[in-house]
Amino acid sequence: MAAGRINFIWVGKLKEKFYVAGCTHYEKKLSRFYRLDERIVRDGPGKLPAPERNAKEGEAILAKVRKNDLLVILDEHGERLTSRKLAANLTKWTDMPGVEPTFVIGGPFGLSDEVKAAARHSVRLSDMTLPHELARLTLLEQLYRAACIQKGIPYHHD
């Protein structure tokens, strides 16, 4: 039975079927351990320059934030974590009273400075730049891996 909650705020809907299939696969697996809540923000207008687009998306992201959200942004300059360290952090974040970890992935141009400032934690998935759809899939897989580490399920190999 799922215990605790993990929230997500994503910019844009997944467009490619293979991303949809992969994310659905890991959401289903992860939901065995946690209740999941997904909030989707519309992509900023494509005609806007990247900074203005980020600002629009940032406003929409912050409008979706709830008072009990512990914001964890995915950012290229965030902390490097091993899968075991992510599992330890996830345990800490889900055990904190009155808060729920809420992972935020921006659109193609990242996150606005306002969203970055509102975050309690910043994590990087890779030193390489990933498309935001792949970042979403990778995050879901890593959270599932973290849950398996927490529960001692033999999915992760050292």
Digit-coded pLDDT (tens) for 63-113: 999 999 999 999 999 999 999 999 999 999 999 999 999 999 999 889 999
Please answer whether residues 11 and 105 qualify as being in contact, where contact means their C-beta atoms are separated by less than 8 angstroms: yes
The pLDDT of residue 7 is 98
Domains and CATH numbers, the chain: 5-151 (3.40.1280.10)
The pLDDT of residue 158 is 65
Please answer whether residues 73 and 44 qualify as being in contact, where contact means their C-beta atoms are separated by less than 8 angstroms: no
Please answer whether residues 29 and 155 qualify as being in contact, where contact means their C-beta atoms are separated by less than 8 angstroms: no
Q: How confident is the model at residue 46 (pLDDT cuts 50, 70, 90)?
A: confident
Q: Which of 61, 40, 52, 41 is nearest to 109 (CA)?
A: 52
The pLDDT of residue 129 is 86
Average pLDDT over the chain, rounded to an integer: 94
Phi, psi at 8, each rounded to 5°: -135, 140
